[in-house]
Structure 1
Amino acid sequence: MVRGLLESKKYLIILDDVWTVNDWNKLNVVFSDCGCGSRLVVTTRDFDVATAAGEGSRVCKLRLLDQEEAWVLFCKKAFPTEPCPLELEPLARSIVEKCEGLPLAIIAMGGLLSLRDKTALGWNRIYKNLSWQLTNNQMLEPVKRILLLSFYDLPYRLKHCFLYCCMFPEDYVIHRKQLIRLWVAEGFVEETGKITMEEVAEDYLKELIHRNILQVVEKNLFGRLKACRMHDIVREVALSVSREEKFCTTYDELQERQNGKVRRMSIYSSGEINHSSAGMTHLRSLMVFDGNMSLSSSLSTMASSFRLLRVLNLERVPIESIPDEVTNMFNLRYLNLRETKVRELPESLWKPQNLQTLDVRNTGLERLPSGIVKLCKLRHLFINQMTNVSRNSVNFFRSIPVPIRICNLTSLQTLSAIEDREGEIVRKVGNLTQLRSLGISKVREIDGAELCNSIGKMKHLLKLRVTATREEETLELEALSPNPPPLLHKLFLYGRLEKMPPWLSSLVNLTHLGLYYSKLREEDPLSSLQALPNLVFLFLWNAYEGQQLCFRDGRFTKLSILSLRGMKELNRIVIEKGALATIQELILINCGELKTLPEGIEYLTGLQQLTLLEMPTELTDRLKLKDGSEEDRRKVGHIPIIERGQWTEAEEWVTERLN
C-alpha cells in the first residue's frame, strides 16, 4: 500500500534509528525511485546498516564535537543568560572533556548543572561521582537510557565482552590482541567451525566497533584495528550496569565489594591492598594497573582464596617473585607478568592445567621451569626479553632456553624468542602446526635444512623471526622452497644470507620484511623483492655490501616505510619515476659513503618524513635552510619533515629538524 502511494510522488522520508540490516531490507522494498527527485534519509547506530542503506549513495559518519564546539554547547545549557564564572571555568572544562564531544552527554550535563548552585564544591561532587549520578539522577537518566539501548540490543555473546572493557582505566588504550586473549580466557568466546577462538573474538570486536560502542584509537596501514578505547560516558554506563549485575568492580568501591560476590576486580591506584577474603572467593579476574602498588606481602594470601580465578594481570607491578599459591589456581587461564621484576617462575607452574596465555616479556627471567611442558592447553607463550639498545644494536631482544618437550604443546599459537640448543628445537618445532608466530634464535648453519623442514609444516604461520648464533653465521634457508608458509605476513631474518632465498618472491601476503646482517653480494638484491604485492615495511640493516640500490619503475607499489642501515659501501640510491609510489617515510642510518641524496627523491610526492641518522655531513649540510644546496633543497621541498640525528654518549638518538 505504501509503495503504491509513493510510486509516482516526489517524497522526503526520514527513517530514524534503524537497528539491523534485516529491518532495512524489509523497509527498502517500499521505496521506489520514479525519477522525481525523492530523497531518503536513514540514521543508524550500526555501520553495517549504513553500508547497506548507503550503497550507491552517500554515507555520512557523524563526528564528535571538537573541544571548542563542545564548550559552546555546554555553556548554552549551563549558563543560558550569563557567561561561565571564571572560578568555575577550569572545573567546567573538565566536565566538558569528560563528555568527549558527545552532544547527548554535553546537553544533559549542562542542563543538570544549570539547576545547581554555581559553586565549585557542588559541581566537583557531581564530577567525581558521575557514575552514581548516571544511575540515580533523573536529569541524566535519558543519557543512560539511550546508551543502554545499544547495550540491550547486543547479542548475548557480546554483552559480557562489552562490559569487560570497562575494567580498564579511564582513557586506557586497549590493544586488540590482549583484549582478544582476555575474552578467550574468560570463556566469552564460542568455538565456531574450523577457525580459532581468537579469530572468532576478533569478529566480536569488529561488531562492537561497527555498533559504535567502542572507539577506534589506532589502525595499521592496512586499516586493521590495533587498539580501541571506551568513551568515558559509555564506560560510566557500563560500570553502572556491571555493578548492578555484579559483573565487575574496582578496588576503591569498598561498599560494593563487601555487599556481594565479586567476580572481577580492577585495581587502578591503591598502594598496599588490605586483603580480606570475604566476598572474594568467587573472583574470576584480577587486573592491576597501578605500577607502584606493593603486592609482595599480600599476593600469597590473596592467591590462596582465589580458587576460581581465570585471569591474573600484574603487568608492570613491581613484584620480584611469584608465590607457589598462584600455581594452585587450577582454573587460571591468563597470567601476565610482563615488565615485572620476576626473575624466576615456580617449578610447580605446571599445576594450572588450563593455562592458555603466559606473558613474561621484559622480566629478569633466565629460564623456564621444566614443568611448563605439562601445560597442554597453552596457546600463547611470550618470553622475549628486552636488551639494552646500543649504537650498533640490531637485535633488540634476547631469548632464553626452553625445555625440548615444549614442542609437544600442540595447541601453541605463539612461541616467541626461544633458543635452539645443538639443533634440538629445530627438529621438533615442526610438531607445532598451529603456530601463528614463531621466534627462534641461536640457529646454526648446519641446522638450516631441519629448520626449513619444520617451518614448512606450519601452514598457519603469520610471523617468523629467525636469528643465527652470531652475526657471521650463515642462515641456510634455501630448503624452504617450494613450501614457505603461504600466509606469512611478517618475516625477520638475522644472519648472513649471501643471496636472497629463492622462495622469498613467492610470499604474496608478506607485509613486513626485515633483513639484518645479511651481507648480500648479488648485483641487484632488490629484484626478488620488487614485485611483492603487499609489502609495506622494508628494513635492510647491514644487509647489503654493494655500492648501488635501484628501485625500478612500478615496483614496491604498497611500500610505506623504508629503512636502510649500516650499508658501508653504498654510495648511490636510484629511484626511478613511478617507483615507491606510496612511500611515506624514508630512514637512512649510518651509510658512510652515501654523500648525495637518492636520485629521483623528487618523484616521491607522498613522502612525509626523511630521517638521516649518523649520515655524512656532506649530505646533511646540503639540506640546511641556510648555506645549503638550493638544488637539493628544491628536490626535497615537498617533504614536511626532514631531520638528522646523532648517537650521544648517553646512548640515545638526538635529532634536529633541517626544514
Structure 2
Amino acid sequence: MIDLQSSIAIATMVLMQLHHERNKKVADTLKEDVEFIKREFVMMQPVLMDVVEKRGQMAASRILSTWFRQLWGLAHDVEDCLMEFYLHLEKPSRAASAEQLLPRRIIAEQMRGLRDQIEQVNTRNDQYNNAISSVAPSQLNTGPTVAASRNVLLIGREKEKSDLIRLISQEGEQHQVMSVWGMVGIGKTTLVSSVYESQEIRGLFKQRGWVTVSHPFNLHDILASLARELDAQNFSVLGNYTQSNFEALGDRIKASSRSCLIVLDDVVCIEEWNLIQPHLPGDTNTHIIVITREASVAEHCSTTDKNIYKLEYLEDNEALELFKNKVFVGGSNIDLNADMTTQAKLIINKCDGHPLAITTIAGFLARKPKTAMEWKKLNDDLSVGSGSNPNLEAISRALSSSYDDLPYHLKMCLLYLCVFPKGHNIRQKRLVRRWVVEGYASNTHNMSAEQVGEGYFQEFISRSIIRPSKTVTHNVGSIDYCQVHTLIHDIIASKSEEGNHGFVLGLSSNNQDTIRHLSIISEGKLDKDLLHVRSVTVFGEWTSDLNLGMMRLLRVLDLEGTSGLKDHDIKEIDNLLLLKYLSLRGCIDIYHLPDGLGNLWDLQMLDVSGTSIIKLPKTITKLKKLLYLRAGNVSNDDDTSSSKRLQEEIGDVLLPQVSAETFQQLLASLKNEKKSDIYHKYKVLLRSFMLGRDIYGVETPNGISKLDVLHTLGVVNVASGKAILGEIEKLTKLHKLGLTGINMKNGQGVLCAIANLNLLRSLSLRAEGKPGLYGCLDHNISLPKNLHSLKLYGNLVVLPTWITQLQHLAKLKLRSTQLELAFSMEVLGKLPHLAILRLWKDTFQGEEIIFHFQQGLFPCLVVLELSDLDDLKSLSFMKGALPRLELLHVENCIHVDSNGFSGMSFLPSLKEVMLKGDYNNKFIDNLRAQLTQNQNQPILKGA
C-alpha cells in the first residue's frame, strides 16, 4: 500500500544483496542510489500518512492532489525497479535466459532517474506540510451534527417502525439500551425520529431527549443539550456551570429522569459512548436508543442481541414506493406506465435499495419532466458513475465518508475491491488471501496475515461498506461471500482514479497513468502497456491477447472460473518470477501444470481445484514459500447434491463400456453432483480410472514435505503407498488437510500421520466405492486435540472411537457413511462444542430415518443440515432439546411425512428454517403453524 513500507522493505532487501555483488563499482553506485531512496521514503512516510488521513476532510487542493498522484506512482516505480534488480542479484538465478530480465544498464539508468524525481519531491516537503497543517477546523468534514426533523414522513419502513415500537414498549422491560445501526444514509435517523414522535411512544414517557453527538466530540455540549431537552423549563440554572463541570450536568440529567427516553444520534466509536454513559440516568424507567453506523458500537452499547437492531436496505417494493413518493411529491399511489416502471426499477437497482440515494435521485427527477425518456437519460448517467451528473454529487459526498472515515490501513484494502466488477459475489478467502500477497495484511506478533485480513473483512461488514451476499450453512457466524454496494463501488473507483492507483476494469480506455491492477471483464483488443501490471484477474472468457510472458512484475494471476483457458495458455508462467498468487480454480480445460512452475519461488497460494489436473509436477517441491495448495475435484461445500439419476443428468452422453466394479462405484457417486458440473466430472472420472487414479484427489510427487510452511493441503490421494503419508507427517504447520484414497492398508498410517499434526484444525477424509472407510479408521489413535472441523465421506458403518476425544470439534459433515442412527446420534450429541452438523445422503442405514432430539444432547448445536436423506420420515424435538439451534436446513428430503416435523415451537433460539426441494402443501402448512407458535418467530425460507 502507499505507506511506502513495501518499497522500504524491498530497498532493504536489495541493499543486503548488494554486499555480495562482485562488481564493486556497480554495487557502490547502486548502493548509494538505493540508500538515498530508502532514506527519503522513510522521511516522507509520516507526511504521506497525514495526507491519506486528512485528504477526505480537507478543502480541495489541486497541488496536494497532484503531489499525491505523483508520489503514489513514484513509489510503485521505485518498487518495480528494485524488484527488477533483485532478480539479477538472486543466487542461484531462476532466469532461464538473460532476455528474461531487464538489462542492468537500463535498471541503473532508471534508478538514477527515480532518485532525481525523489529529490524534486523532497524539495517540496515544506510546501506539502504547510498545505496539510493549514487545514482549518472549519474545513473538516464533521459529519451530521444537527438532529433530523422530528416530524418526518416514513416511507417503506412501516414494519421496522412497528418492530422498534414493540421493542421499546414491551411489558416487563426495565432500564435498557437499544442500538439502531446501519450504513451511512440508510435512514436510521429518519426511522428513529418517526418512532420518537409516534403517539405510542409519546404516551409511554414523561420526558424525552434527543441529542446528535457533535464531531469534533465535545462532552460538555452534548450533556448540556441533553439537559435542555429533558428539562427545558428549568434549564436556565445550568448556565452557571463551567464547561469542565460534567458532574453537575450529569446530576441534573439524572435528577430529571422520570420515565425517560433518550436518543443519542451518530455515536461513531465506543470511546464516545464510554464518555457519555456515566452521565446518563440508570433508573429502571429509562430507555436509551443509540444510533450508529458501527456494528461494534451497537454491540458494545446494547449487551443483548434482542436490543440490537440493524437497519437493512429497502426491498424492491418499498424502494419503488419511496421513489414515486419523492418524484411525485407524496404520490406513491400513482401508477406508472410500462416504460416508466422499467426505468424506475433500473434506477432503484443501481441504488441498491439505499434510501439516501433513492431520495436524492428522485428529488432531482421531481424537478424534471416526468417521462420515461427523461428517466432513461438519468439512467445512462448513472451507468457511467453518479459523478457524471452534478445534481447527483450529493450522493457521493454523503457516502464518501464511508471511505474517508476509514483508518489508514483499511483505505487501500477497500480500493482493492475495484478488481471485482459491480455485483460480483466475492469469496472471502479469495479476497483476504489476495490482500495478504499484495502486502495489505501482514503478520503480527499473535496473528497470521490471513487472520489480520479476516479482521479487515469483518470490519468492512461491520461498517456496512460491503454486505453478505451468499452465506452458506457450513460456516455459520462467518460470511463466505460479499458484494460491494453499487454506489460504494462507484466511489472507490473514483478514488482509485483520483489517486492513480492503477485499477482498470475492462478493456476500455481510461485515465490511469500506469496500469497496476488489470481486470478483464469483456472481450476486446488488449492494447495496453502491461509491463508494470501487478495483478491480472479474468472474469468470463480467456483472451488470447493476454501475453503472460510480458508481465515480469506480476504478483497475482487470478483466473478463477475463466472459461476457454487451455494448457498452452499458461506455458509461459515460468516467466512470472515474482508471482505470489496463482488460481486456476474451476478452469476445467487445464490438465497439466508446466514444469516451469518450480521457478516461482515466491508463490504463496496455488489453487487448481476444479481443474482436470490429477497429478502435480515434481518441480512443485521447489516452492518453499507455499502456504496454500488446493487441488482435486471435490465439490464445494456450498453446493448441495441432487437425487436425480446420472442418466437424467448427462442426457445423451454415452457411458463407456467398462465393467470394472470400481469404475461403476465411482460412476454412481456422480449422481449427487450439480448438473452444471456433471459432464466435466464424468470426463475426469473416466480419465482418472484409465490411469488408475482417484477422481477426487491429486497425486503429489516425492519431496512434498519440503513445503514445510504449508498451512492448507488438499485434496491428496494417499492410495499410492506409505511414502506420501511419511511426507505429510512432516508438514507440522498444517492447519487444514484433505485426503482421499483411504483404504484398509493405509488407514492406520493415515491416522498416525494426522496425529503428528498438532496445529491441525480442519480435516477431510474420503474413500469411494463399497468398502469406503469401513475398517479404515478403527484404530486407537489420538487425533490433534484442537481439531475444529471434520468431514467423513464414505462407507463407515460405525463411528471411530476417537471421535469422542474431539472435545473442541465444532463442525461435522457426514456423507455416505451408512451409520446406525440411534447410537451414532447419541455419541455425537455428547460432543460439548459441536455447533454445525451436516448430514448428507446415505449418512444412515435403514429404510426409515426418524430423528428424535431429546434434552441434554447437542447442547451447542447452532446449525442442523439434512440433505438428500431420501428415507427421512420424521423429525421431532422434545421440550428443552437443542437450546441453541438457530438454523434448520432441509434439502431434498422429499419423502418426509406430512406431519413429520414436530416440536418446532420448543426451539427457543430458532431463527430460520430453510426448505429446498418439492414438499406437499400439508407438510408446509403444518410447519408454518408450528413456527408461528415459536416465541422467537423464526422465518421459513424456500417454501
Report what 1:88 is aligned to.
340
| Deviation by residue 1:239-284 (Cα, 9 ceiling, x = unmatched) | 1111111224344473325x51111122222x24x22342x32222
Contact 2:381 2:389 in 1 (8 A): no
1:266 aligns to what? 519
1:173 to 425, 450, 455: 425
Q: CA deviation at 1:466?
A: 1.8
Superposed CA offset, 1:307-333 (max 9, x none)? 222222222221112333222112212
Letter aligned with residue 492 of structure 1: L
- Counterpart of 1:247, as a letter, is H
| 1:404 has 2:702 as partner | yes
Residue in 2 aligned with 1:283? 533
Q: Which runs of 5+ in 2 are unaligned?
A: 1-244, 636-640, 647-667, 674-694, 930-942
Q: 2-side partners of 1:59 and 1:575: how far apart?
A: 31
Contact between 1:135 and 1:141, CA under 8 Å: does it hold in 2? yes
Which structure 2 residues correspond to residues 206-355 of structure 1 after superposition, within 5 A? Answer: 206-221=458-473, 222-252=476-506, 254-256=508-510, 259-269=512-522, 271-272=523-524, 274-278=525-529, 280-289=530-539, 291=540, 293-295=541-543, 297-299=544-546, 301=547, 303-317=548-562, 318-321=564-567, 322-340=569-587, 341-355=589-603
Three-state SS of the structure 2 residue aligned to 1:398 is coil
**Aligned match of 2:854 in 548, 553, 557?**
553
Kept in 1: contact 2:697–2:715 (CA 8 A)? yes
User: Which residue does the alignment assign to 2:790?
Assistant: 490
Deviation, 1:200, is 1.3
Match of 1:438 among 704, 726, 737: 737
Larger Rg: 2
The alpha-carbon deviation at position 469 of structure 1 amounts to 6.8
Q: 1:188 matched to which residue of 2?
A: 440
Secondary structure in structure 2 of the residue aligned to 1:418 = strand
Structure 1 equivalent of residue 83 of structure 2: none
| Contact 1:215/1:230 (8 A) holds in 2 | yes
Contact 2:263 / 2:288 at 8 angstroms: preserved in 1? yes
Letter in 2 for 1:112: F
**What's the RMSD between the two structures over aligned residues?**
3.7
For residues 328-364 of structure 1, the C-alpha deviation after alignment (integer angstroms, 9 at most, x for no partner) is 1122122121222212221101122111222222222
CA gap of 1:260–1:90, structure 2 versus 1, over 3 A, is: same
Distance 1:601 1:268, change over 3 A: same
Q: CA deviation at 1:186?
A: 1.6
* Aligned counterpart in structure 1 of residue 294 of structure 2, from 31, 41, 46: 46
Note if contact 2:785-2:808 (Cα within 8 Å) is conserved in structure 1.
Answer: no
What TM-score do the two structures reach when normalised by structure 1? 0.81
Query: Aligned to 1:312, what secondary structure does the other structure show?
Result: strand
- Give deviations 1:43-82, integer Å, cap 9, x for gaps: 2211112222334794432232232332233234333498
Contact kept? 2:471, 2:480, Cα under 8 Å: yes
For residues 34 and 515 of structure 1, do their structure 2 counterparts lie closer, same or farther at Cα, with a shift above 3 Å needed? closer
Say yes or no: does 1:139 pair with 2:391: yes
- Residue 454 of structure 2 aligns with an amino acid whose one-letter code is E
Q: Distance in 1 between matches of 2:699 and 2:270?
A: 52
**Does residue 1:60 correspond to 2:60, yes or no?**
no
> Does the aligned pair in 2 maintain the 1:551–1:580 contact within 8 Å?
no
1:421-449 Cα deviation digits (max 9, x unpaired): 11221222022222232121222323222
Deviation at 1:504, TM superposition (A): 0.7
Aligned with residue 417 of structure 1, among 701, 715, 727: 715
Is the Cα contact below 8 Å between 2:899 and 2:926 reproduced in 1? Answer: no
Q: CA deviation at 1:150?
A: 2.3
Paired letter, 2:776: E
Q: Structure 1 residues 260, 528: CA separation in 2 closer, same or farther (over 3 Å shift)?
A: same
Matched to 1:229, the amino acid is Q
Alpha-carbon separation, structure 2, partners of 1:133 and 1:574:
52
Larger RCO: Structure 1 or Structure 2 (Cα < 8 Å, ≥ 6 residues apart)?
2
In structure 2, what is the equivalent of residue 501 of structure 1? 800
User: Do residues 537 (structure 1) and 817 (structure 2) align?
Assistant: no
Kindly tell me: are residues 245 and 129 of structure 1, through their superposed partners in 2, closer, same or farther at Cα, counting changes over 3 Å? farther
Displacement after TM superposition at 1:548 (Å): 8.2
Letter in 2 for 1:74: F
Gaps of 5+ in 1: 614-622, 626-632, 642-658
CA contact (8 A) 2:538 2:560 kept: yes
Matched with 1:200 is 452
1:463, CA displacement in angstroms? 2.5
- Partners in 1 of 2:782 and 2:716 — Cα distance? 26
**Which AA in structure 2 matches 1:332?**
L
Once the two structures are TM-superposed, the CA of residue 15 in structure 1 deviates from its matched residue by: 3.8
2:927 alignment partner AA:
I
Q: In structure 2, what is the Cα distance between the partners aligned to 1:536 and 1:105?
A: 39
Asked whether the equivalents of residues 901 and 927 of structure 2 are also in contact (C-alpha less than 8 Å), the reply is: no
**Distance across 2 between alignment mates of 1:523 and 1:4:** 66
Q: Distance in 1 between matches of 2:357 and 2:899?
A: 55
Amino acid of the structure 2 residue aligned with 1:50: A
Q: How many residues are treated as equivalent by the alignment? A: 607
Superposed displacement of residue 417, structure 1: 1.8
The answer on 1:27 being equivalent to 2:328 is no
Q: Contact conserved, 1:453 with 1:479, CA < 8 A, in 2?
A: no
Aligned mate of 2:401, from 122, 127, 149 = 149
Cα pair distance change 1:143/1:450, threshold 3 Å: same
Residue 203 of structure 1 and its aligned partner are, at CA, apart by 0.9
CA distance in 1, matches of 2:769, 2:806: 26
Q: Which string of whole-angstrom CA distances, capped at 9 and with x for unpartnered residues, describes residues 18-49 of structure 1? A: 222122222333334467x6665432211112
Question: Is the CA contact 2:870–2:893 (under 8 Å) kept in the aligned structure 1?
Answer: yes
Q: Which moved more, 1:83-92 or 1:230-239?
A: 83-92
Q: TM-score, normalised by structure 2?
A: 0.58
| Overall identity of the aligned pairs, in % | 28
Task: Give the direction of change, closer, same or farther, for the CA distance of 1:19–1:597 in structure 2 (3 Å limit).
Answer: closer
Structure 1 CA distance, aligned partners of 2:516 and 2:896?
64
Between 474-483 and 205-214, report the one with greater CA deviation.
474-483
Q: What's the offset of the Cα at 1:4?
A: 0.9
Task: Report deviation, 1:95.
Answer: 0.7
More displaced stretch, 578-587 vs 191-200? 578-587
Indicate the larger mover: 83-92 or 500-509: 83-92
Q: What pairs with 1:347-366 in structure 2 (closer than 5 Å)?
A: 347-366=595-614
- Equivalent of 1:4 in 223, 248, 254: 248
Q: How big is the shift at 1:135?
A: 3.2
1:561 Cα deviation after fit: 1.9
Give the deviation of 1:105 after TM superposition: 0.8
Amino acid of the structure 2 residue aligned with 1:374 = K
Using a 3 Å threshold, how does the CA distance of structure 1 residues 411 and 115 change in structure 2: closer, same or farther? farther
Given candidates 64, 67, 71, the residue that maps to 2:320 is 71
SS at match of 1:331: coil
Alpha carbons of structure 1 residues 72 and 516: separation in structure 2 relative to 1, 3 Å:
closer
Letter in 2 for 1:9: S
Q: Is the 8 A contact 2:742 2:776 kept in 1?
A: no
Distance in 2, matches of 1:122 and 1:517, equals: 59
